[in-house]
C-alpha cells in the first residue's frame, strides 16, 4: 500500500495500456507515474474507450450504455473491498466532447470520494449537432469535478466561465519523463555541406496530422534555395500520401518510420539542429517537449496549447496558424543564424529541466490532492 492510498485512474480517450503509441497514451502514463511519485497508488479503473471521432450518435449511445454498465460493475466490486483498500479519489485524464467520462462521476458519487479531471475542455458550440450526447457527458463530468487540472492556457477561459461553485482550477502544465533531461545533450556538430538537419516526429494519419505535413512540405519548398535536410520519424495510413507531398525535395528528406526505442529517438533529437512541426490543432505536442529537452529548438504553428509548451522567442519560434510562408520564414531565419540557434536550444533544455518533468508535476499533484482530501474529511 502506498503512503497516501489508492487512486482510481481512467483515461476515456486512450488507456495507458493501449498498444498504439500516441501523445495521449504517453501523458496518461506520465500522470500515473506522477501520482505514484506524489505518494499515491494509481489503479487503472477501466480501459473502456469512449472516443467517437466521427460524430456518430448511435456509437455515443452505445458507449454511454457500456460505460454505465461498467460503472455499476465497478461500484459493486469496490464497495466489496475493505474501506482502506478503496480508492481515496477518482482521477480522469482528458475529458472533452469526443471522449466523455460517463464512469468516473458515477463511481465517485457512489463511493463518496472526490472526482478530479486533468486536461478537461469545454466546447459550447458542440451542444448541438452530431456530438451532442458526448458534449453533454463531458460537460456533466466537468461540472461534477471537485478539481480540474488545467494543462494549457487555451482551456482556461472556458473552464473559468463555466466553473461551478467550489470547483478548483489548478495549473498542471504538460511535462515529460526526467530521462529526457538526465542524459547530457552532446554538442551538436556544425552543419555540413548539406546544411542544418531538420527533424519531425509525428504519426502519419489523415486529418490534422496530414494537414500539418502538408503545411510543412509547402514551407520547405519555399526555402529550397537554402541548404537543409529533413528527417521524418513516424508512420501510419497516410504515409504514401505524405511522401508524395515531399516529392519536389525528395533528395533532402529521409523517412525513418515509427521508432519505439527511446535511445534511437534521443539520438535523432541530439543530432538535429531544428525541430519543425506546424502542429495543426495540436493539444500541445509531446514531441515538442522532447525536442527541447534535448536542446533542440523548435519552430511550430501556434495552434491550440502549443504556446503552453514552447516559449516563443525563448525556446523556439511560434508562427501564425496555418501559414506556410510564415513558417518558412521562421525556419529560414533560424537556420541562417547559428549563434541564435544554439542560444535558443540551450534555453529550451533549461526550460524543460527546470519546469516540465515528472517531479515538478508530482509536487503540484501532491499539494492539490492532499488539500482536496483534507477538505473532504471536514
Q: How confident is residue 378, by pLDDT bands cut at 50, 70 and 90?
A: low
CA pair distance 21, 234, nearest whole angstrom: 11
pLDDT digit string (tens) for 59-109?
999 999 999 999 999 999 999 999 989 999 999 999 999 999 999 999 999
| pLDDT at residue 124, rounded to an integer | 92
Same domain, 303 and 337: yes
Same domain, 222 and 190: yes
What DSSP line would sit under 304-355, residue for residue? TTGGGTS-BTTTEEEE-TT-HHHHHHHHHHHHT-HHHHHHHHHHHHHHHHHH
Q: Which residues pair with 317 in a beta bridge?
A: 299
| pLDDT at residue 21, rounded to an integer | 84
Number of domain units in the chain: 2
Give the residue with greater pLDDT, 162 vs 193.
162
Same domain, 160 and 183: no
Q: Please state, in angstroms and as integers, the Cα–Cα distance from residue 77 to each residue in 9, 11, 64, 106, following that order.
A: 16, 20, 20, 14
Same domain, 59 and 77: yes
- The overall average pLDDT reported for the chain is 95
| pLDDT at residue 2, rounded to an integer | 61
Q: 26 pLDDT exceeds 70? A: yes
Grid coordinates representing 242 are 505524405
**Considering the domain boundaries, does residue 211 fall inside one?**
yes
- Domain that residue 285 falls in: 179-355
Same domain, 351 and 361: no
Same domain, 31 and 125: yes
Same domain, 58 and 78: yes
| pLDDT at residue 190, rounded to an integer | 79
What CATH number corresponds to the domain at position 280? 3.40.50.2000
CA pair distance 260, 161, nearest whole angstrom: 41
Q: Dihedrals φ, ψ of 168, to 5°?
A: -100, 135
Q: 376 pLDDT exceeds 80? A: no
Same domain, 308 and 372: no
Contact 276, 297 (CB under 8 A): no
Q: Taking the CB of residue 355, how many other CB atoms lie within 10 A of it?
A: 10
Cα–Cα–Cα angle for 30, 33, 39, rounded to 5 degrees: 145
**Considering the domain boundaries, does residue 50 fall inside one?**
yes
Q: 136 pLDDT exceeds 70? A: yes
**Considering the domain boundaries, does residue 1 fall inside one?**
no
Same domain, 146 and 261: no
**Considering the domain boundaries, does residue 127 fall inside one?**
yes
Q: What is the mean pLDDT of residues 305-332?
A: 96
Same domain, 232 and 166: no
- SS3 of 43, please? strand
Amino acid at each position: 500500500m502506498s503512503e497516501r492510498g489508492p487512486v482510481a485512474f481512467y483515461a476515456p480517450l486512450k488507456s495507458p495500456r493501449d498498444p498504439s503509441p500516441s501523445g495521449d497514451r504517453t501523458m496518461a502514463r506520465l500522470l500515473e507515474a506522477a501520482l505514484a511519485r506524489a505518494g499515491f497508488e494509481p489503479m487503472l479503473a477501466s480501459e473502456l474507450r469512449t472516443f467517437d471521432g466521427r460524430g456518430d450518435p448511435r456509437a455515443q449511445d452505445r458507449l454511454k450504455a457500456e460505460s454505465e454498465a461498467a460503472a455499476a460493475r465497478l461500484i459493486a466490486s469496490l464497495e466489496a473491498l475493505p474501506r482502506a483498500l478503496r480508492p481515496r479519489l477518482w482521477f480522469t485524464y482528458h475529458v472533452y466532447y469526443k471522449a466523455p467520462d460517463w464512469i468516473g462521476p458515477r463511481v465517485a458519487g457512489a463511493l463518496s470520494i472526490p472526482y478530479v479531471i486533468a486536461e478537461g475542455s469545454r466546447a459550447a458550440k458542440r451542444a448541438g449537432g452530431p456530438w451532442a450526447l458526448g458534449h453533454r457527458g463531458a460537460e456533466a463530468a466537468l461540472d461534477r469535478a471537485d478539481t480540474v487540472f488545467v494543462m494549457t492556457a487555451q482551456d482556461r477561459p472556458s473552464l473559468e466561465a463555466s466553473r461551478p461553485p467550489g470547483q478548483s482550477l489548478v495549473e498542471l502544465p504538460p511535462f515529460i519523463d526526467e530521462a529526457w533531461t538526465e542524459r547530457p545533450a552532446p554538442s551538436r556538430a556544425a552543419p555540413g555541406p548539406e546544411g542544418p538537419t531538420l527533424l519531425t516526429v509525428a504519426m502519419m494519419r489523415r486529418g490534422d496530422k496530414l494537414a500539418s505535413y502538408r503545411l510543412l512540405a509547402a514551407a520547405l519548398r519555399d526555402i529550397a534555395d537554402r541548404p537543409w535536410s529533413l528527417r521524418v520519424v513516424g508512420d501510419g495510413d497516410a504515409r504514401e500520401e505524405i511522401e508524395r507531398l515531399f516529392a519536389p525535395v525528395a533528395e533532402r528528406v529521409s523517412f525513418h518510420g515509427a521508432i519505439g526505442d527511446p535511445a534511437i529517438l534521443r539520438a535523432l533529437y541530439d543530432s538535429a539542429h531544428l525541430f519543425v512541426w506546424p502542429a495543426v490543432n495540436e493539444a500541445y505536442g509531446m514531441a515538442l517537449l522532447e525536442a527541447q529537452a534535448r536542446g533542440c529548438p523548435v519552430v511550430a504553428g501556434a495552434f491550440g496549447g502549443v504556446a503552453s509548451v514552447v516559449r516563443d522567442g525563448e525556446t523556439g519560434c511560434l508562427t501564425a496558424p496555418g501559414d506556410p510562408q510564415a513558417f518558412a520564414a521562421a525556419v529560414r531565419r533560424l537556420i541562417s543564424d547559428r549563434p541564435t540557434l544554439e542560444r535558443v536550444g540551450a534555453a529550451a533544455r533549461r526550460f524543460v529541466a527546470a519546469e516540465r518533468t515528472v517531479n515538478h508535476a508530482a509536487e503540484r499533484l501532491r499539494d492539490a490532492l492532499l488539500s482536496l482530501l483534507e477538505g473532504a474529511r471536514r
